[in-house]
Each structure stands twice: as C-alpha cells, then as structure tokens.
Amino acid sequence: MDLIIGQYYDNIKCEFFLDKETNRVRVRPLPNQLVPTTMVIECLKKLREENKVDTHFLTENVKVCKKPDVGVYLREKGQVIQ
C-alpha cells in the first residue's frame, strides 16, 4: 500500500487501543480500509483521555504525514464519536 505524503482519506473507521509498548491509549484504523491497521493516527490527547479503549469512531479525514524522527504516520482532523 503506497501512501502519499499530504494525501487525505475521508471517513476512516478507527478505534482507541492500549499501546503495550508505551502504555498509552492511541488510535488505529480498523481493518479493510484504504490505510493499514499498523499505522497510528495522531489525535488530540483530550479525546484519548475521554474515551475508553475499544471505542470505535469515524474520522472526518486523516492526512498522511511524515516526521524525521517518526516516519510516516496519520493525523486526524475532526471526528464524530459513535
């Protein structure tokens, strides 16, 4: 799967999960979508603190981004909790 930096994906179904490496609640895409489930989606800390692990939600859009020290990742902008 080739992700292009700066590309947006709309309506990605996601879930909050406990990252065992960092012991932090994080966000990842659910299976069978245009983005891999192995990628972490950056979102507001407030949302991660307010929602339980395994809560599913729909992102309005996610953007493919890249940081020198992290590599390619996804960043969400606005979401609707379901």
Mean pLDDT of 59-78: 86
Name the pairing type of β-strands 56-59 and 79-81. Answer: antiparallel
pLDDT on residue 79: 47
Beta bridge partners of 19: 24
pLDDT on residue 82: 43
Sign for the CA dihedral angle at 18, 38, 75, 22 comes to positive
Quick: pLDDT tens for 10-57: 999 999 999 999 999 999 999 999 999 999 999 888 888 899 999 999
Cβ contact 33:75 at 8 Å = no
